Structure 1
Amino acid sequence: MPSFARSFNKTTLALATAAAASLALPSANAAEVEVLHWWTSGGEARAANVLKELMEAEGYGWEDFAVAGGGGETAMTVLKSRAMSGNPPSAAQIKGPEIQEWGELGLLGELDEVAEAEGWDELLPPTVAEVMRHDGSYVAVPVNVHRVNWLWANPEVLEAAGVEMPTTLDELFSAGEAIREAGYIPLAHGGQAWQDATVFETVLLATGGTEFYQQALVELDEEALGGEQMVEALETFKRLRELMDDDMSGRDWNIATSMVIEGTAGMQLMGDWAKGEFTAAGLTAGEDYLCAAAPGTQDAFTFNIDSLAMFRVEGEEREAQQALARLVLEPTFQEAFNLAKGSIPARPDLDMGEFDSCAQQSMQDFQRTAEEDGLVPSMAHGMAVRADVQGAIFDVVTNYFNSRDMAAEEAARRMVNAAQAAL
């Protein structure tokens, strides 16, 4: 049973389901959609506003329900509360396995009619389309594809330190030491559990490769979680702390990005939503900032797909909801949203001419790694495992990262226990 489904007792679930059915009743705001999301930073907010404007241009209302928090944990807590009270929004930013969890509760509405009319099966890569379906029906629509395993850098800081963009982990550590000696913070980071996990999964991918990543963070294989490769990944991950500053605790990811933008830090390991911050600051890729696959992960693509899942509604609200789903995949929104957000379109058929060099590289790498079995779902960003398993792994990773005494072997044992307890 899904993680949060366990917290629904029979009475609560019955009430939520009955209340969801009652949404068939018309209301004064029937032609309006309420959209819950966590696109709240500068670049993200601009991106979300594009969809609002497109909806309003077609005569539909948009009620924005933005909940701050880069990893989406707060937004999911709010959504679960709304669903338990029988008052979910029209659409919500839900992704990965959690789409299936909501589908199993019977609260999601299908989008097959609009999907067939718009040819989604032909437009979307199979990897993307599979995530959007529950029991064979589309229940969500993808707004983008993020690459998580990116390294961002300030070229002026690298030049001042006399280093090039690192392509291996050894080069990353060497460059970091040179950057510190030059008077800068080597690696900008925010001490939050999801950010720790983002860096961890990237290091694991670099040290173990895609097959090991799949075994450990997707299949939760106990030998992979507790073995020597995991210990090596954990030790390397812990070493990265030496490249970070002492004030990182609780720092939001976009503040860490701003440290690279402002030149107080040299580099950041973060998904390509960071590019939205560079764009919002008026900077040019390849000139004012640099991007590259995270050191050691050039042949892999850790993906995170943002999507809007649709809750069951009827009447004019359903009409507005269907319009929302259609607009999300139309070229106008896909291009405008992803240009602002830093990600790439969910549709690989779109012209990438207006996108910067980082995005063009991302699309090329996405298509190449898809053919070479190099695509892996991001554990840190809700694409690989259920929320309860993810939370258990987060606890181990961040506790180990912040502990002075915990050995990597102990963290690996806890990783195995966390997976066992959550299954």
Structure 2
Amino acid sequence: MRSPVALGALVCVAMMAGQAARAGEVEVLHWWTSGGEAKAASALKATMQQKGHTWKDFAVAGGGGDSAMTVLKSRVVSGNAPAAAQIKGPSLQEWAKEGVLANMDDVAKAEKWDESLPKVVSDIMKYKGNYIAAPVNVHRVNWLWANPEVFKKAGAKVPTTWDEFFVAAEALKKAGVVPIAHGGQNWQDFTTFEAVALGVGGTDFYKKALVQLDPASLSSPTMEKVLTTFKKVKDYTDKNAPGRDWNLATAMVIKGEAGMQIMGDWAKGEFLAAGKTPGKDFVCAAAPGTSKAFTFNIDSFALFKLKNEANVKAQKDLAVAIMSPEFQELFNLNKGSIPVRLNMKMDKFDDCAKTSSADFVATAKSGALVPSIAHGMAVPSAAEGAIKDAVSQFWNSDKMSAKDAMAKIATAAKTR
């Protein structure tokens, strides 16, 4: 006869052995290295460790650039794929076509992902109807950030239309401040361009021209008006804009050197880091003419096919953790973005995030939730790069007409 204590010890050992046998390793390629992001990554790591799994960072110098993708490709080709990698938008489909991503439908069904995500988002996370990736967050791109004190001194009001924008810009200019803080890099030019396209052309035009790359829409009078309005914005930037990083442009608004900036909600992090309060020290408003629409940029993890059963279990636990309400809240409070789940409580979030979340839910219902082409969510990367170059050429040229730019953009849209 064994004593109850000895029996208890044996059961304990057996349970631990069972857990150890099930425990796997998750190797994750990500570039969450800045303060808030690193904190969120640590939380995900801790969640996995609580389940007995080992977390391994797949670090590649240079963040989310080409070098990371090159190393990832070589790993996948050699049959040594990580569990997950930070990949987004149409690039997910490109990887899925290669047959290297895992089917996550069992996790998605058990966790009710279809009910928790807008269809436009879940479609991006699927390939041929099967989930192959898990979304982490939503960044709203079509924001206008403004310094209310600067506006008050200039006797201007925060614009809600492009006509109002130019009236406000003129007043700010007369008051001796830079009306619009801008960083002359092609993705920043394009962030402004897509906000103008959405505000001037509306959601249907935006979808046809910048998501479907419809040749008729790209060559339409509406596109000419978009380009003319876009170029007019440049008149209200300063001569030091070329090459300026986005966060330095945000700093101009924070310091009162500029009145406003068109930028995604990562700009909010700069205001908060400077100790500023939303609604009091800075205004977050939808870019002119876009209050009923929402351009999204979503971070997601592609989940690769693995051979080791314990690692497959760990990978599925990772997918569950990423989409859990607890992680969605924690990560997005740190990142400045909002949860991608529709049924989230937002009481811990600031006013800008609450507005963003309400608009995310409303536009998911109305059909005005659209992918950002500037941030790699709408079209294949080759076409996106070519269109970005054409738009920046127009922005930087004194001689190119809107009609010339339309022809260049239409040609660029055919790039494959």
TM class, shorter-length = 0.7 to 0.9
2:318 maps to what in 1?
324
- Alignment size in residue pairs: 392
Equivalent position to 2:383, from 384, 389, 394: 389
2:27 maps to what in 1?
34
Aligned ranges 1:81-160 → 2 under 5 Å: 83=76, 88-160=81-153
Equivalent position to 1:402, from 363, 373, 396: 396
Q: How far did residue 201 of structure 1 move?
A: 0.6
Contact between 1:38 and 1:67, CA under 8 Å: does it hold in 2? no
Q: How far did residue 143 of structure 1 move?
A: 0.7
Contact between 1:378 and 1:384, CA under 8 Å: does it hold in 2? yes
What's the TM-score, normalizing by structure 2?
A: 0.87
Matched, 1:52 2:42: no
Contact between 1:145 and 1:306, CA under 8 Å: does it hold in 2? yes
Amino acid aligned to 1:393: I
Matched, 1:367 2:361: yes
Contact between 2:383 and 2:414, CA under 8 Å: does it hold in 1? no
Equivalent position to 2:266, from 258, 261, 273: 273
Q: How far did residue 412 of structure 1 move?
A: 0.2
Amino acid aligned to 2:252: M
Equivalent position to 1:234, from 220, 227, 233: 227
Amino acid aligned to 1:113: D
For residue 207 of structure 1, give the secondary structure of its aligned residue in structure 2.
helix
Distance 1:178 1:79 in 2: 51
Distance 2:40 2:251 in 1: 18
1:263 maps to what in 2?
256
Q: How far did residue 48 of structure 1 move?
A: 3.7
Distance 2:380 2:117 in 1: 24
Equivalent position to 1:347, from 337, 341, 354: 341
Amino acid aligned to 2:404: E
Equivalent position to 2:276, from 283, 299, 316: 283
Contact between 2:179 and 2:258, CA under 8 Å: does it hold in 1? yes
Distance 1:405 1:45 in 2: 45
2:287 maps to what in 1?
294
1:252 maps to what in 2?
245
For residue 200 of structure 1, give the secondary structure of its aligned residue in structure 2.
helix
Q: How far did residue 86 of structure 1 move?
A: 5.5
For residue 57 of structure 2, give the secondary structure of its aligned residue in structure 1.
strand
Which digits, 9 at most, give the CA deviation of each residue in 1:143-192, with x for residues without a partner?
A: 11221111111222222322221111122222223223333222122222
Q: Which moved more, 1:385-394 or 1:174-183?
A: 174-183
Contact between 2:89 and 2:376, CA under 8 Å: does it hold in 1? yes
Matched, 1:172 2:165: yes
Change in 2 beyond 3 A, CA 1:266/1:106: same
The runs of 5 or more residues in structure 1 that have no matched partner are: 1-29
Distance 2:181 2:68 in 1: 25
1:7 maps to what in 2?
none
Contact between 2:183 and 2:243, CA under 8 Å: does it hold in 1? yes
Percent sequence identity over aligned pairs: 56
Distance 2:337 2:28 in 1: 20
1:334 maps to what in 2?
328
Distance 1:177 1:102 in 2: 47
Contact between 1:275 and 1:341, CA under 8 Å: does it hold in 2? no
Considering only CA atoms, is the larger Rg found in Structure 1 or Structure 2?
2
The runs of 5 or more residues in structure 2 that have no matched partner are: 1-22
